[in-house]
Structure 1
Amino acid sequence: MDLTPAFLKQMLLETLRDPRAGAAHLLRLGFSPLVGWMALLLMAVASTILTHLSLSSLPPEAREAWAGLFGGPVRTAMLQWVVLLVSVHAIYRVGAWRGGTGTLNGAVVLVAWLQFILLLFQIAQLLADAILPPLAGVLGTAGMVAFFWLLTNFIAQLHGFKSLAMTFLGVLITSFVAVFLLSIVITLLVGVPSEGV
């Protein structure tokens, strides 16, 4: 099986039409742990590149404000990697705690695939911002809705959960906890900017 553009397009369309079927198809391919982790690392790098491209298109004041958080590309890549790692382990461990049957490798593969789809939304949003700015906001909202919809279906498929509503509730609760913990980690990595500097 080759990860050709045609295959990725087929998987993308299948996932958008029926997220659970797309996730099941992806899991059946049996990617090795090495491939899964390499894909996740690649997504962290790609996210870093797109983040800094997005920052370069902002007004100077907004760019300076965000630069305090992201800093250089290396720091951004570290933050992206931490976020993806937390996402993988939260999906796997919280799901297992709730009686799910998914594997860590399956969580890695699905998070990498979800991140790939979100990157496509981000690319479309960047292009729209340059050509038709009002459309960029619509795409941003669509990307957020797609994120929660796909994530809920991916987790349900990975762990064998039947109820999407209960899975979504679990996603919301876990997200609040994860954001709190990530804010602590990011503060430790980045630090708090000093006033007047």
Structure 2
Amino acid sequence: MTQTSTLLALARLSVVDPEAGGRAVIAVNPPLVVRWMLLSAAILVSVLLFYAVPFMSGQLEMMPPPVGFAAAQFGLNVLVVGLVAYVGRGFGGTGSFDDALWLMAWLQAVTVVLFVLQLVAILALPGLNVLVTLFSIIISLWMLTGFICALHGFRSRAMVLVGGVMVFTIMSFVLSVILLFLGFDFSGVSDV
């Protein structure tokens, strides 16, 4: 098997059976620098793709600055890695930060392909954009819950999903309060 076909088979397994795919990804066990490089590269490609449609349609000025957006995406991904590793361990999981980093980097790399499908849908068949976006979100959550189960040895994906929604809700609130405290207001409502 060539390296490309091995990666494609691993990506397919990650989508079809995320728990088995997650265990296979963890078994690759690359050096820590490779894990950080994959996460960084996947985020960079995602950001470039995110700016592609506004660039082609001449609406780039409506987008946030790309460097700041990429930095924010990287920071949020590192936060997710930490939450996956340490909240999971808090609930009796056995996964490490390094393996959580590797799994989330792999998840980001696979979701780049889903993002490309979304772009194709936007450009070729705008009516399917919402359906493709919904499908991408479902696949991403499916993979994330399976990867967390593989990482920590959890058995119930439903409980992982419920726990993830709770952690996401709490962290969204905490981050909103912190950003408001720092003077950021994303509501779009001007002062009266």
Task: Pick the TM interval, shorter chain.
Answer: 0.7 to 0.9
Contact 2:179 2:185 in 1 (8 A): no
Corresponding position of 1:131 = 124
Contact 1:47 1:80 in 2 (8 A): no
Q: What is the identity percentage for the equivalent residue pairs of Structure 1 and Structure 2?
A: 28
Q: How big is the shift at 1:63?
A: 6.6
Contact 1:124 1:139 in 2 (8 A): yes
CA RMSD of aligned residues (A): 2.7
Distance in 2 (CA, whole Å) between partners of 1:189 and 1:7 is 46
Distance in 1 (CA, whole Å) between partners of 2:51 and 2:179 is 18
Greater relative contact order (Cα < 8 A, sep 6+) = 2
Correspondences of 1:119-158 after superposition (within 5 Å): 119-158=112-151
Corresponding position of 2:89 = 96
Corresponding position of 1:36 = 35
Corresponding position of 1:176 = 169
Unaligned stretches of 5+ residues in structure 2:
none
> What amino acid is the match of 2:75?
V
Corresponding position of 2:74 = 81
Distance in 2 (CA, whole Å) between partners of 1:189 and 1:139 is 36
Q: How big is the shift at 1:78?
A: 0.8
> What amino acid is the match of 1:5?
T
Distance in 2 (CA, whole Å) between partners of 1:181 and 1:74 is 24
Contact 2:43 2:74 in 1 (8 A): yes
Unaligned stretches of 5+ residues in structure 1:
none
Distance in 1 (CA, whole Å) between partners of 2:78 and 2:181 is 16
Distance in 2 (CA, whole Å) between partners of 1:49 and 1:190 is 28
TM-score by length of 2: 0.87
Corresponding position of 1:9 = 8
Q: Secondary structure at the match of 1:31?
A: coil
TM-score by length of 1: 0.85
Distance in 1 (CA, whole Å) between partners of 2:7 and 2:147 is 17
Contact 1:86 1:178 in 2 (8 A): no
Q: Indicate which of 111, 117, 122 corresponds to 2:110.
A: 117
Q: How big is the shift at 1:180?
A: 2.6
Q: Indicate which of 84, 97, 105 corresponds to 2:98.
A: 105
Contact 1:125 1:136 in 2 (8 A): yes
Distance in 1 (CA, whole Å) between partners of 2:53 and 2:37 is 24
Between 1:125-134 and 1:172-181, the stretch displaced more is: 172-181
